[in-house]
Amino acid sequence: MQTRGKKWFLEPLAVKLFLVVSLVVLGVLIPAGYLVTSQYYQFALSLKRNETYLQDHVIAIALQHQMLEDRRDLIREMVRGFSSNPKAKRLLIVDHEGRVRLSNDPTFEDRVFARDSPACQVCHAIPSRQRATSALIELEGGAVLRSVYPLRNQPACHRCHDPSRTVNGVMITDTDVTDVRTRLAAQIKGMATLLGVIALVLLAGVTLVVRVLVLRRLERIEATTRAIADGDFSRRVEIEGTDAVARLGSEFNAMADSVTDLLSQLRRQRTQLENVMSSVDDGLLVIDRTFTVVALNKSLAERIGDARENLLYQRCHEIWGAHCDCTRGESDSQCPARACFASGQIHKSLRTRYTRDGALREEEVFASPIAGADGEVDQVVEVWRDITERKSREARMAEFQRLVSLGMLASGVSHEINTPLGTMLVHLDDIRSQAQEDTGAGGLESVRGKLEIIRNELLRCHDITRQFLQLSRGASMQRELLEIPALVRATLPLVAHRAKKAGVTMRIVEGDTAPFAMANAGAVQQVLLNILLNAVQASRPGGEIRLRWPSHSGPTIWIEDDGIGMPPEVREKVFEPFFSRQPSGTGLGLFVSLNLARQWGGDIRVTSEPERGSTFEVAFPPIEEPCLTIAS
């Protein structure tokens, strides 16, 4: 309701109330006036009928008296004298045939009225018992009250009239009722004036009451509403009385108190939420379905290098520039937010971006959906976690674990090399002795056999050295097509000395087929090496370690032992960094192995029970996937 700058009587509510009250007042007064006027008119006509009847009765008596005396000249004189009365317009004496015998109007003398004429049907259309003695008739000269007075056939009349008839004729008089209508018109005019004055007084009174008791108080509520909308939350409506408007003001004040409390709570919650978001080191970003930023925390704004207020309500591509691909089609986009909007599930993505000073940063982005009331995803929360330092630490831990593993294998490698070197030394001594004795053709054949043995032992040393060097160099994570059985057989010699020293046997369970996998050979060997070393440490003397690649589970390598096993609480922590049950262990072997497996797109799963051994399953991605290059 806008009353500012308007006159109160032009207020739409005041106009509506005025019109409604006017209709009510007029709706009551007009029918009442009509009823009073109608009753007055009927009463005036009734008086006129009575007056006319008395007049006709007197005239009829006088006429009958003159007729009995057969004074026809006096009768005609009396009929003509009827015209002297200005209100008496016409007098007719009509016989049984409808013929006018006497009349004060010469135009009606000897006229015959047909019974079916309109003038006669006013009475004859009604049964005789229901007929009135008079009727109001509209004629050309105006309305008249026509009275019909029967002239009875008395015994004194029988000498001239047929005794069988009860009526000798009728006397018809037309009396002017203009005066009645004139008085009625004056009455109506006066009543209309009175009703108009009463209506104006009522309307003025009602309008004033509405203005004072309703509109003015509603304007206070409106002013309070506008003040609250402008930010004055302490403003309240002044309460006057206990009527409906006062109750409305009380309810409004109660509502304003509730709204003020809710706004205060929202401000506190918003402040708390902003403080929580600002205290998180990870970057937080909230975007809607148009990829517009509706919220972000201080940490992310600092990473971007701009004020938080400047980044709000911008599009993603306006913030990230060339590093954002949310504007592309779904088939080309790697945007986790777009995928989250499409599926309603949490999505993860690894992003690489350059800061404003040119530094390369790696970010891990998690996109989580926020569903609306209809169940559809309205917004997405992105958590940007800088993993540059973490990946660097993981790389350093992997290198450390690799060096530890190489140190553990050094004694085994030296033993493996010393054995063929001792064999070669013995055979070389034999060859030298034979060369000095010069035993002939048989001796040469023996020398050739010994040289072949020396050659094989040299190749064996070469293979052992090559495998050791491959692990020590830490080859880059380039995926290639690998034959799993060949890779397993090439890895076992590196652990053979440790297993022999612990009294543990390693055995390959041959499968029906030789499966292939897409991975990096050096990474797979390091994973196998770490798991095998753990299996050797967990096995008892006389135990056995089995390696197999079941064809029903896809490209996998299963490493089973019958050692001490692991309880559930240990099994849950086995892949955590720096967790080890061996006093001399680093707790990094399985942690590094799991990270390496996930880099080539695979995984490591473990099942174990105390005193019943453990089974490690090294999984590879399906061979149908295209070859990919993944940066280390």
pLDDT of 486-511, one tens digit each? 889 888 877 887 888 889 999 998 87
pTM for this prediction: 0.37
Residue 212 in any domain: the answer is no
413's CB contacts (< 8 A; 6+ apart) are: 464, 465, 468, 494, 497
For residues 57 and 453, the model is more confident at: 57
> Would you tell me how many other CB atoms lie within 10 Å of the CB of residue 136?
14
Report the chain's mean pLDDT, rounded to a whole number.
Answer: 76
296 is a domain residue: yes
What is the pLDDT, as a whole number, of residue 505? 93
Report the alpha-carbon distance of residue 422 to residue 166 in Å, rounded.
176
Examine the domain organization and report whether 567 and 498 are in the same domain.
yes
Confidence band of 197 (pLDDT split at 50, 70, 90): confident
Q: Please give the pLDDT value at position 65.
A: 74
Query: Mean pLDDT throughout 34-57?
Result: 79
For the chain, the 3-state helix, strand and coil shares in percent, each to the nearest 5, are: 55, 20, 25
- CB neighbours of residue 76 within 10 Å: 14
Q: 559-589: buried (b, 16+ CB within 10 Å) or exposed (e) per residue?
A: bbbbbbbbeeeebeebbebeebeeeeebbbb
The closest of 389, 198, 363 to 285, measured between CA atoms, is: 363
Q: Which pLDDT does position 228 carry in this prediction?
A: 84
Number of independent structural domains in the chain: 3
Say which residue, 33 or 564, is predicted with more confidence.
564
Q: What is the CATH number of the domain that holds 378?
A: 3.30.450.20
Residue 274 is assigned to a structural domain of this protein: no
pLDDT given at position 542 = 92
| CATH at 550 | 3.30.565.10
Query: What's the pLDDT tens digit per position in 180-189?
Result: 777 777 877 8
Cα(299)–Cα(306) distance, integer angstroms: 11
Residue 508 counted as domain residue: yes
Q: Give yes or no: residues 436 and 324 share one domain.
A: no
pLDDT on residue 94: 83
* 428 and 554 share one domain: yes
Give me the pLDDT at residue 512, please.
64
pLDDT in tens, 517-555: 988 887 788 789 889 988 998 999 999 999 999 877 778
In a domain, 205, yes or no: no
Give the end of a domain, one of 135, 163, 183. Answer: 183
State the greatest distance between any 2 C-alpha atoms of the chain, in Å, as a whole number. 211
Mean of pLDDT values over 38-56? 78
* Whether residue 316 sits in one domain with residue 432: no
The boundaries of the domain holding residue 19 are 14-183
* pLDDT (0 to 100) of residue 14: 66
Picking from 134, 159, 183, the residue at the C-terminal end of a domain is 183
Q: Are 93 and 82 within 8 A, CB to CB?
A: no
pLDDT at 617: 93
User: In this predicted structure, which of 304-308, 397-401, 625-629 has the lowest mean pLDDT?
Assistant: 625-629
pLDDT above 70 for 404: no
The predicted pLDDT at position 559 comes to 94
**Pick the residue with more confidence: 117 or 265?**
265
Say which residue, 147 or 476, is predicted with more confidence: 147
Specify the pLDDT at position 508.
Answer: 92
- Residue 299 is assigned to a structural domain of this protein: yes
Same domain, 432 and 330: no
Res 586: pLDDT:
63
Q: Where are the beta strands (DSSP E) in 26-180?
A: 88-94, 100-103, 134-139, 142-152, 167-176
Of 122, 153, 183, at which residue does a domain stop? Answer: 183
Q: Both 518 and 534 in a single domain?
A: yes
Count of CB atoms within 10 A of residue 380's CB? 24
Q: How confident is the model at residue 605 (pLDDT cuts 50, 70, 90)?
A: very high
Highest mean pLDDT among 155-164, 410-419, 560-569, 587-596: 560-569
Predicted pLDDT of residue 613: 92
Provide the pLDDT confidence category of residue 589 given band limits of 50, 70 and 90: confident
The pLDDT of residue 632? 31
Which of the residue ranges 212-221, 234-243, 584-593 has the most confident prediction, judged by mean pLDDT?
Answer: 234-243
Confidence of residue 428 (pLDDT cuts 50, 70, 90): confident
Q: What is the pLDDT of residue 223?
A: 86
599 and 494 in a common domain: yes
Residue 236 reports pLDDT greater than 90: no
Kindly state whether residues 330 and 404 are assigned to the same domain. no
| Statement: residue 237 has pLDDT above 60 | yes
Would you state the pLDDT for residue 625?
Answer: 46
Q: Are residues 463 and 444 in the same domain?
A: yes
Alpha helices in 109-177 (DSSP H): 118-124
Residues 414 and 352 in one domain: no
Higher pLDDT, 120 or 600: 600
What are 367-393's pLDDT values in tens digits?
Answer: 889 888 888 888 998 888 877 777 777
Same domain, 398 and 334: no
Percent of the chain exceeding pLDDT 70 equals 77
The whole-number pLDDT of residue 543 equals 93
Token pair of 28 as six digits: 């009551």
Q: What is the DSSP letter of 213?
A: I
The band of 3, judged by pLDDT with boundaries at 50, 70 and 90, is very low
Which pLDDT band holds residue 141 (cuts at 50, 70, 90)? low
- Structural domain contains residue 599: yes
Q: Output the pLDDT for position 628.
A: 38
Q: Are residues 324 and 179 in the same domain?
A: no
Name, in order, each residue with C-beta under 8 angstroms of 297's C-beta and a sequence gap of 6 or more: 274, 277, 278, 280, 283, 284, 308
Nearest to 510 by CA among 455, 475, 547, 538: 547
Residue 630 domain-assigned (yes or no): no
Contact between 190 and 100 (Cβ < 8 Å): no
Question: 237-246, 266-275, 335-344, 411-420: lowest mean pLDDT where?
Answer: 411-420
Lookup: tokens for 586? 């680093």
More confidently predicted of 586 and 46: 46
Q: Where does the pLDDT of residue 1 fall: very low under 50, low under 70, confident under 90, or very high at 90 and above?
A: very low
